[in-house]
Amino acid sequence: MTHETVFHAILSLAIQGTLITFVYALAALGLAVVFGLIGVINMAHGAMITLGAYFTWACLSAGLPFGLAVLVAVAGVGLVGLIVEHALIRHFYDKPFETLLLTWGLFLILTELIKIAFGSDIRTIPTPLPSAIAFLGFHIPEYEALVALLSAALLGAIGLVFYKTSYGIKIRALTQNREVAGLLGLNVAATYKIVFVAGAMLAGLAGALMSPILSIDPTIGNIYLVRSFFVVIVGGIGQLLGGTLAGSFLIGGSQTIFGAFSSQVIAQTIVFALAIVVLRFRPTGVFKEK
């Protein structure tokens, strides 16, 4: 191999790795927000991603333009999150294990409702931006680049909300001390509701934006539940933005590298195994300072 081909291969991996990092971050963000802020692991996260993809598909079939379809999907999944939070989840915030089982039941119910409403056949959505960007001799799919940009913008926007607005600072106070945050005049119940619904909307958005990249079936979200969980854990739970991004980079990046030497399936398995090892030795995340 000449130096040029080695350079070319490394650059190719870097581009793939960057794209996958932002896609994983997008998929994990909803889980990270709910887990990081209110300590609930939403086991229905994967089903919510799937639902977002199906809502997008349904809107496109009804003739809506792609952008509008994404917005409808986000609102639709957000509404599902709101109903579920109000009817069930809010009564169980002080019992994390029950919440886990409840959201798992919700995952089952959502998956079956998806099958009833949309069938089990594989659906595909044509890419809204079919062309590719030529870059240093590579062709980067325009749509995937756009998704990566949107994901980065979303991380930035959430960062602004949490670190620059007074409401965001109050929400962060809530994660550190619920009683004191309540005493400071924060409506704890409403905040929990907002955070859970925001997490659902983010899952819906991830499903909607990823829908043209995936072939949609009622179980596509399953793998994203575990993957997103590992992203959040490897990155570090408390660090909402940096953690999610770092975790996505480590999970997505290592998957890209292993994928270059073996099949995607093997790469996925190796990455899960590595994530378990990381979780064992650094339960608070790779970059968590003491």
Binding site for another protein (CB under 8 A): 39, 41, 88, 94-98, 100-102, 104-106, 108-109, 112-113, 115-116, 178, 219, 222-223, 225-226, 229-230, 233, 263, 265-266, 268-269, 272-273, 275-276, 279-281, 283
At 265, which amino acid appears? V
Alpha-carbon distances, residue 45 vs 32, 102, 129, 162, 197 (angstroms): 10, 12, 27, 22, 11
Based on CB atoms, which residue is closest to another protein, 102 or 210? 102
Structure tokens at 79: 């509404």
Q: How far apart are CA 278 and CA 275, in angstroms?
A: 5
Tell me the closest approach of the beta carbon of residue 206 to another protein, in angstroms: 18
Which is nearer to another protein, 205 or 278 (by Cβ)? 278
User: Residue 66 or residue 118: which is nearer to another protein going by CB?
Assistant: 118
Measured between alpha carbons, how far is 154 from 148 in angstroms, rounded to an integer? 10
| Least distance in angstroms from the C-beta of 108 to another protein | 4
**Distance of alpha carbon 203 from alpha carbon 26, whole angstroms:** 8
Nearest-approach distance from CB 104 to another protein, in angstroms: 7
Shortest CB 109 distance to another protein, Å: 4
- Of 201 and 220, CB closest to another protein: 220
Residue type, 85: E
CB 15 within 8 A of CB 140: yes
Least Å distance, CB 40 to another protein, is 9
State in angstroms the smallest separation of the CB of 58 from another protein.
Answer: 18
**Structure-block tokens of residue 61:** 């079939």
Nearer to another protein, 75 or 112 (CB): 112
Token pair of 239 as six digits: 């660090």
**Two tokens, residue 101:** 């089982």
Q: Is the dihedral of CA 138, 131, 259, 44 positive or negative?
A: positive
CA distance 262 to 28: 25
The residue (of 127 and 219) whose beta carbon lies closer to another protein is: 219
